[in-house]
Structure formats: structure tokens, C-alpha cells
Amino acid sequence: MELQNVELFKGVTCASIDAMMSCFRPEVRKFKKGDTILVFEPEVKSLCVLLSGKAHLYCVDSEGEYTLLENYVENDIFGEVFTMPYSGLGYVAEADSDCSVMFFKMSTLYGRCPNACEHHTKITKNLFGLSAKKAQMMALRINMISKKTVRQKLISYFEYLAEKTGSTSFETELSLSQLANYLCVDRTSLMRELRLMREEGLISSSGRKINMLNI
């Protein structure tokens, strides 16, 4: 099982990863599109690695309002250690496509290794680094949705993707409905603003492909 591309195992050799699997004893489960992968609990229990496919994390409040929080692709990591739900809120990871997920019990990652694996400490260090990155992404999201207008929110999102991809031409990770939910705006307003930005020569687009022209 190849996990060297997963950031949790950054700096750990393939041989060491294989050896540590006997300590961590992860479970691999397969899901169909639309299946619930994980219902987050108010305590740190699980850490998941998306081995294949796509998924997302959403929050449901006491009134049943749905909010998209994160999207996951192959090798992404998620679980309560990064996003612990508040009281009255439900956090659910759901499959966007057929996918395969590896589940680790946090107690095996944080606990003392019975086999004294030399890289066990490295895993813990990587977890702290991943937690910091998750916090950074959440701060970025807050900055996006705090913008006053739909256009400002879109530009902030596009600038993030441009920096992430290293190009002003990129493909968005979200559908229009997902993007509207992610930016906390009305879908109709989002579509209208995208049309205006195209007409004003700020962007060109085809499907999910965006080309930033004069932003």
C-alpha cells in the first residue's frame, strides 16, 4: 500500500510506513457517491486518508442549514483532529464520487508505540504541521466570506486558486452550487456576477475553467 504521497507520512520511508501499519492497524473502506464517510464526533477519534476519489465536508446547523466547509481529493486527510464540531452543529464527510478511505484510530497515532518505531515521532510532528495548515485554510476561508460583495468574494477565491496552481488559468474545484455555498452567497447572484465579470473583460470561462484577464 503506497502512502508516501500522503503528507502525514512526509519524510518517512516506504519500508518504515509498511512497518508502522502493524502498529496503526488502519481499516480501508470503500464508499459510493453520496455515501456518508464520517460523522464527526465531539472528541478526537478518527483520522482519515482519502486514497482515491473525491469527497467534501459539510456542516448542518440546528435549523438544517447546509454549509460546505472543505473539499477533499486523493491523499487529503480529514477528521476530528482538524475540525471538531461545536455543540448543536453536525459535521459530515460525504463522498462526491466512488472512493476509498483509510481510517486510523487517533489513539494509535498519539499513543506510545509498542514496537518503538523510530518514525512514530515524525508522524506526530507531521500531524501538528497539518493542523497548522488546516487552520491557515480556515483563516483564508473566513477572509473570503468576510468580503462585502459577491465580486470581492469571487476575486479572493480566484486569487487563491491562481496562487495555488501558479497560473492565472485554472479549473475551479467546485460546481456553481458548491461555490455559492462555499462563499455564502446566492447561486443566482453568483452566476450574475460571473456573467458581468466576463462582459467587463475581467475573466473568460468555459465550464469550470477560468482565465483571469484583468484582475
Over residues 12-23, the mean pLDDT reads: 79
Ordered DSSP codes for 155-172: HHHHHHHHHHHTSSEEE-
Domains identified in the chain and CATH numbers: 7-131 (2.60.120.10), 147-212 (1.10.10.10)
Over residues 75-102, the mean pLDDT reads: 86
Q: Which three cell numbers stand for residue 88?
A: 448543536
Over the stretch 154-176, which tens digit does the pLDDT of each residue have? Answer: 999 999 999 989 999 999 988 89
Over the stretch 35-57, which tens digit does the pLDDT of each residue have? Answer: 999 998 877 788 899 999 999 99
Over the stretch 145-156, which tens digit does the pLDDT of each residue have? Answer: 999 999 999 999
CA distances from 208 to 54, 180, 205 (A): 16, 13, 7
Asked if the model's pLDDT at residue 4 lies above 80, the reply is no
Strands 46-52 and 99-105: antiparallel
Cβ neighbours for 135, distance < 8 A, ≥ 6 positions apart: none
Asked if the model's pLDDT at residue 6 lies above 70, the reply is yes
Asked if the model's pLDDT at residue 29 lies above 90, the reply is yes
Asked if the model's pLDDT at residue 16 lies above 70, the reply is yes
* Contact status, residue 33 vs residue 107, Cβ threshold 8 Å: no
The pTM assigned to this predicted structure is 0.74
pLDDT for 83 equals: 74
Over the stretch 163-213, which tens digit does the pLDDT of each residue have? Answer: 989 999 999 988 899 899 999 999 999 999 999 999 999 999 988 899 998
